[in-house]
Amino acid sequence: MKRLVLRLRAEPDQRLDLSPLVPERLAGRNTREIGTIAIHTTRRAVTIGDMFDLSIGDVETIVIEGGSDRLDRVGEAMSRGTLVVEGDVGNRAGRAMTGGRLMIRGHAGHWTASGNKAGRIEVAGDVGDRLAGPLPGEIRGMSGGLVVVRGKAGERAGDRLRRGILIVEGAAAAYAGSRMLAGTLIVGGDIGPEAGYLLRRGTIVVGAETGVSATFVDCGVQELVANRLMAAFLAADSAVAASLLRRPLRRFAGDMAVLGKGEIFVVT
Amino acid sequence: MMLNDVAIDDTFAEAFGMRATGLILTADTERWAHQAAVTMTGFATSVIGCGCEAGIDRHLPPEETPDGRPGVRVLLFAVSTTELQKHLQIRVGQCVLTSPGSACYGDVGPADGEPLKLGSLLRYFGDGWQISKRFGGRQFWRIPVMDGEFVCEATTGLTKQAVGGGNLIILGRSRHNTLAAAEAAVEAINAVPDVILPFPGGIARSGSKIGSKYKGLAASTNDAFCPTLKGAVKTALDDDTASVLEIVIDGLTSQAVAAAMRAGLAAVVALGPEKGATRVSAGNYGGKLGPHQYRLKDLLPDGLRPY
């Protein structure tokens, strides 16, 4: 079936809120109705029709052609269907998703996948800070689903992660996996200082020889069945993560400054 | 009727509905996966004395197991969900958790009803150090043990479609020949998926009848099939019958039990009376007790004309 395609005409002159562009909010609407949906974030009103050329199709698969780091809240609270962005997006892409698939072929901003509950998010490029993390005032970050970032991640990737799997195939900046409650963060490249800061439970896997902070304690090199098992489940989503999990890894338990039931695996 | 000079009785096997589950046990080597499975399915010949019936369905190559290691699929049967849950927990806890390098995954196929608890009970062995991981819609527990970690799926499926008590009774002119026929049947049935043969090596020599002359005994020796009592009781044996063996089959579905009986019957017929059995029968209770009936004449091997 034909897909719903939105072609960005020009670089927006204000930040846009694209959260209405999800299958469940577009279902049953025609081109004209979709064109009148407001997406402005300043006092100057802007609609979808003002910014995009529409080529109507099945709303279960939405394609946004062209990108900008001013396209905020792409796929926010999406529960089903597929949303593809052929370019960059701004902040909060895929926030609080409860299902469906979000594919971003460019870079994404801060709070990507923030508070994601289910569904699959893939970013071909890099992401900003606080990948999957909570917004100010929220208690938990991501609580389910799978996020794959092919590039690198900014600071505090996986902040307050509760459940689910986060894969960053490139490097992650400082405080990766900070305050994690559970879940899994896999970083294919190097990791910045203070990874796993105040992590209570959960797993961080690092694909580079790196030191960990002083409050993580060395538990020796392990070849665990659980890691092989996870590798088998993740092989189709990330070859980088799967091959990393199949290597012997040094296990550090921590963060002993808090509960200490978590772990960081590091290649040796 | 006769097939390849082997007599097939016009009778049927009578079987009962059971609750069942399946597991995949893996280990670092095929030997240790097999060891875990043998230990877990030991002393599980009959629900009457063992509480459950269990056996190995098949060995799995590394490509077919969740963690990419050699594995064995075992099936466990019991008369009720409560009994099944109880024996599953005891057996996995005592026999699989303890086996070097083992891991345990649920694998019953189409399941119905509430899943059975597996790792979600055994995790307490971890004394607070256990770790839960979810991926692919499944939950696994990592329990630290002295050789690393025991990985165990949180739950396993339960099927209410299982059937226990499919059977073949094999009669021959000598112990040697009857055993050869029974062994051929076991080998053929081992290739059938979703079934197990709970008795030693798949074969039972002490078939039973319901009731006893002694008070409090529910079952006793099947005297009609005992060759040493041929003249003394109302026997079911032929003049030249010297030995009788029984194959009991439990399957996840009625179709699997029928397929197993068909495979076993074909193997016995193919072996013929000179090296194997002279006659094949089946055990039933007159058709009043078990909801599943398998008539031998419906399970004849293809391509052979009875006469």
**Contact map slice: B 58-77 vs A, CB within 8 A:** 66-69
CA distance A199 to A180: 5
**Percent over 70 (pLDDT), chain B:** 98
Element at A99 (helix H, strand E): strand A98-104
Give the start-end residues of each E strand in chain B. 2-3, 6-8, 12-26, 53-60, 71-78, 103-106, 116-117, 131-135, 138-145, 148-153, 155-156, 159-172, 195-196, 208-210, 219-221, 243-251, 277-281, 292-295
pLDDT in tens, B139-183: 999 999 999 999 999 999 999 999 999 999 999 999 999 999 999
Among B141, B159, B177, which residue terminates a domain? B159
- Pair (B52, B98) in one structural domain: yes
pLDDT in tens, A65-86: 999 999 999 999 999 999 999 9
* Token couple for B120: 């979600």
ipTM: 0.93
pLDDT in tens, B222-254: 999 999 999 999 999 999 999 999 999 999 999
pLDDT at B305 exceeding the cut of 70 = no
* Token couple for B250: 């439990």
8 Å CB contact of B129 and A182: no
- Pair (B188, B250) in one structural domain: yes
Residue partners of A70: CB distance under 8 A and separation at least 6: A11, A12, A14, A15, A16, A90
Among B136, B159, B182, which residue terminates a domain? B159
- Pair (B241, B111) in one structural domain: no
| CA angle (B23 as vertex; B20, B26 as ends), nearest 5 | 165
Q: Specify if B290 maps to a domain.
A: yes
Among B126, B159, B192, which residue terminates a domain? B159
Compute the nearest-CA separation of A43 from chain B (Å): 44
- Pair (B150, B282) in one structural domain: no
Q: Specify if B305 maps to a domain.
A: no
8 Å CB contact of A229 and B132: no
If pLDDT is split at 50, 70 and 90, which confidence band does B110 have?
Answer: confident
Identify the DSSP state of B264.
H
CA-based nearest residue in chain A for residue B133? A183
Domain count, chain B: 2
If pLDDT is split at 50, 70 and 90, which confidence band does B286 have?
Answer: confident
- Pair (B186, B138) in one structural domain: no
Residue B132 forms contact with A (CB below 8 Å) = yes
pLDDT of residue B289: 78
If pLDDT is split at 50, 70 and 90, which confidence band does A170 have?
Answer: very high
Q: Which of A201, A203, A229 sits opposite B66 (nearest CB)?
A: A229
8 Å CB contact of A226 and B134: no
Q: Specify if B104 maps to a domain.
A: yes
- Pair (B207, B286) in one structural domain: yes
Q: What is the dihedral of CA B140, B145, B147, B151, to 10 degrees?
A: -10
Compute the nearest-CA separation of B102 from chain A (Å): 9
Q: Specify if B303 maps to a domain.
A: no
The whole domain housing B294 covers 2-14+161-298
Q: Which of A163, A222, A234 sits opposite B148 (nearest CB)?
A: A222
Q: Which of B131, B132, B149 sits opposite A225 (nearest CB)?
A: B149
Q: Specify if B304 maps to a domain.
A: no
Q: Quick one: how far is CA B190 from the chain centroid?
A: 10
| CA angle (B136 as vertex; B134, B139 as ends), nearest 5 | 30
Spell out the domain ranges in chain A.
107-267
- Pair (B213, B110) in one structural domain: no
* Token couple for A64: 């946004």
- Pair (B7, B51) in one structural domain: no
Q: Specify if B190 maps to a domain.
A: yes
Compute CA distances A19 → A13, A25, A40, A51, B171, whole Å: 18, 9, 11, 15, 76
For chain A, the residues whose C-beta falls within 8 A of a C-beta of chain B are 163-165, 182, 184, 201, 203, 222-226, 228-234, 261, 263
Q: Specify if B209 maps to a domain.
A: yes
If pLDDT is split at 50, 70 and 90, which confidence band does B288 have?
Answer: confident
Q: Specify if B212 maps to a domain.
A: yes
Residue B100's CATH number: 3.30.70.520
Contact residues, chain A, for B148 at CB < 8 Å = 222-225
| CA angle (B113 as vertex; B108, B119 as ends), nearest 5 | 60
- Pair (B61, B151) in one structural domain: yes
* Average pLDDT of span B74-101: 97
If pLDDT is split at 50, 70 and 90, which confidence band does B287 have?
Answer: confident
8 Å CB contact of B142 and A182: no
pLDDT of residue B104: 98
Compute the nearest-CA separation of B61 from chain A (Å): 15
- 8 A C-beta contact, residue B78 and residue B160: no
If pLDDT is split at 50, 70 and 90, which confidence band does B296 have?
Answer: very high
CA-derived radius of gyration, chain A:
19
If pLDDT is split at 50, 70 and 90, which confidence band does A2 have?
Answer: confident
- Pair (B178, B230) in one structural domain: yes
Alpha helices, DSSP H only, in chain A? 23-26, 31-35, 48-51, 225-234, 239-245
